[in-house]
Amino acid sequence: MKHKIKDFIERHRLLSPDKKQLVAVSGGADSVALLLLLQQLGYTLEAVHCNFHLRGDESNRDEDFVRQLCEKLNIVLHLIHFDTKTYAETHQVSLEMAARALRYRYFEQLRQDIGAENVCVAHHRDDAVETLLMNLLRGTGIHGLTGIRPRNGHIVRPLLDVSRQEIEDFLDSIGQPYVTDSTNLVDDVVRNKLRLNVLPLLKAINPRASENIYKTACRMSEAERVFDATMESAKMRVCPLGLPDSQHDGSIDMTALQQEPSPEYLLFELLSPLGFSPDSIEQIAAHLDSPTGREYQSDSHELLVDRGQLLVQKRQPLPPVLRVPETGVYQYATGKLRVEQTNDVEISRDAAVATLDAALVTFPLTVRPVRDGDRFHPFGMTGSRLVSDYLTDRKVNLFDKRRQLVVTDASDTILWLVGRRTDHRFRITDDTSSMLRLSFC
């Protein structure tokens, strides 16, 4: 057992022999075996135990067991208590997710405080198999078929190559006791149902089922490396102006996308990190020939079909309405609006500046997003036009249309389509004696 763990650590370059390691110890068989094996392998160790106060006396029993074990092994132990139920209620997450968030946040903080290289956790082969099966049940791509990784940042899993049975056999062989979490014996959650019901059935069909599933996950990890390199190249081909992500808007060239071997899977790789569900992505891929204007949304992003492009951006609230009672400088959501009146009449050619005949403008002014049915008289043109039609002629996409600002006067007549064009009726003429100048910066 010790040599098997040693080989796995070296193969995946998990631990440095000359650096301190922090070991998460619950008191169960897995973490007890991990602590013992790493000590036998000569690593410098400190341990950490979390009491989540979710199982009454059993939680305190686990803490006492871990304390006594570490005293016996002469290993420094760090203990922390969490009010997990309150955290879960406050953040509106399950108890399982709350416990996970609390422990991993504390692990990283403690790792830095004590100068440890890694946090060693006791996930083993059966855990990896259960995770893979859970991902299959939810629906997953190639990344979900790789199970659990040996390393995730500073979290390392030295026992990932051994089974739960091997761990228990090892502890029995040396007479080492451990505690059992009673909640793991009840098939009330998906992971427990798989552990207690599904995996025993699979092993009845094939005694090596768990081992074979794990080997498949390992092979998928190798295939994943090739896949990721291929996907990165494909992403650059279909997103030449940059990839959409959680911080940046982007666009996907639909023609280039349709030339890829699997447009749908490439879309999955691009859009699933932005919250689009597999069903939504399937719909998008099936309607790549949709006319301009079709939209899709996730909780955080929105996607628009627009003239051969899939435009992707973060969901944003519409700009607010700003009342401008008189000249001055006003803070707005997208910058500052400066409103000034001057007798120095000079027409500006800057798109961010509007110069109007002050005598024709009635305060208060309003800055607001464009509305359905808004019309104006574009400067230099005869007659009025719908703002929407004017923007369409200039190939403005629907996202930008919704956020297009206008400045109106007291009668809600449009004076300026901000950043684009003023209204012809308020233009500077030879008879203008006083000018109103509007500018955004």
Q: pLDDT tens for the chain, 441 residues: list them.
A: 999 999 999 999 999 999 999 999 999 999 999 999 999 999 999 999 999 999 999 999 999 999 999 999 999 999 999 999 999 999 999 999 999 999 999 999 999 999 999 999 999 999 999 999 999 998 887 888 988 999 999 999 999 999 999 999 999 999 999 999 888 878 778 888 999 999 999 999 999 999 999 999 999 998 999 999 999 999 999 999 888 888 889 999 999 999 999 999 999 999 999 999 989 999 999 999 888 889 999 999 999 999 999 999 999 888 899 999 999 999 998 889 999 999 988 888 888 899 999 999 999 999 999 999 999 999 998 899 999 999 999 999 999 999 999 999 999 999 999 999 999 999 999 999 999 999 988
- CATH of the domain spanning 2-213: 3.40.50.620
| Size (the chain), residues | 441
Handedness of CA 168, 169, 171, 176 (dihedral sign): positive
Identify whether the C-beta of residue 140 lies closer than 8 Å to the C-beta of residue 103.
Answer: no
- Nearest-10 Cα torsion for 12, 13, 14, 19: 170
CA distance 323 to 367: 7
Q: If we measure between CA atoms, which residue out of 372, 355, 364 comes closest to residue 409?
A: 364
Report strand pairing: 76-81 vs 44-51: parallel
How far apart are the C-alpha atoms of 198 and 134, rounded to whole Å? 11
C-alpha torsion angle, residues 162, 167, 170, 171 (rounded to 10): 160
Task: Decide if 359 contacts 434 (C-beta within 8 A).
Answer: yes
| Predicted pLDDT of residue 230 | 93
- Kindly report the number of other CB atoms within 10 A of residue 74's CB atom: 7
Domain residue ranges in the chain? 2-213, 239-314, 322-440
CB 330 within 8 A of CB 339: yes
* Nearest alpha-carbon partner for 142 in 220, 219, 214: 220
Q: Homologous superfamily of 322-440 in CATH?
A: Phenylalanyl-trna Synthetase, Chain B, domain 3 (3.50.40.10)
* Res 246: pLDDT: 81
**Which residue, chain included where needed, has tokens 């016996």?**
72
| The overall pTM is greater than 0.85 | no
